[in-house]
A = this chain, B = another copy of it.
Amino acid sequence: MEMSFRWYGHDDPVTLKNIRQIPGMKGIVTAVYDIPVGQPWPLERIEKLKADVEAEGLHISVIESVPVHEDIKLGKPTRDKYIAAYKETLVNLGKAGIPVVCYNFMPVFDWTRSQLDYELPDGSTALIFKQEDIDRMDPISGELSLPGWDSSYTKEGLTTLFEEYKEVDEEKLWENLEYFIKAIMPTAEAAGVKMAIHPDDPPYSIFGLPRIITGGEALNRFIKLYDSEYNGVTLCVGSFASDPKNDAVAILKDMLAKKRVNFVHARNVKLTGGKSFEESAHLSEMGSIDMYEVVKACVDYDFQGAIRPDHGRMIWGETGRPGYGLYDRALGATYLNGLYEACVKAKKAAEAKA
Contact = CB atoms under 8 A, between A and B. Distances in A.
Interface of A: 17-18, 20-24, 57, 121-124, 281-286, 291-292, 295-296, 313, 315-316, 326-327, 330-332, 334-343, 345-346
A124 to B, nearest CB: 5
A123 B296 contact: no
Nearest to A282: B23
A21 to B, nearest CB: 4
Nearest to A296: B342
Given A21-B313, A292-B341, A330-B331, 10 more contacts: A20-B122, A20-B123, A21-B315, A23-B281, A24-B283, A57-B122, A334-B334, A338-B338, A338-B339, A339-B342
A204 to B, nearest CB: 28
A20 B124 CA distance: 10
Which 10 pairs of residues, A with B, have the shortest CB-CB distance?
A338-B338, A342-B342, A23-B281, A23-B283, A334-B335, A338-B339, A21-B315, A331-B334, A335-B338, A292-B345
B335 A346 contact: no
Contacts of A338: 334-342
Nearest to A17: B123
Given A326-B316, A334-B335, A335-B335, A341 B122 contact: no
Contacts of A57: 121-122
A124 B21 CA distance: 7
Contact of A21 (B122, B291, B334): B122
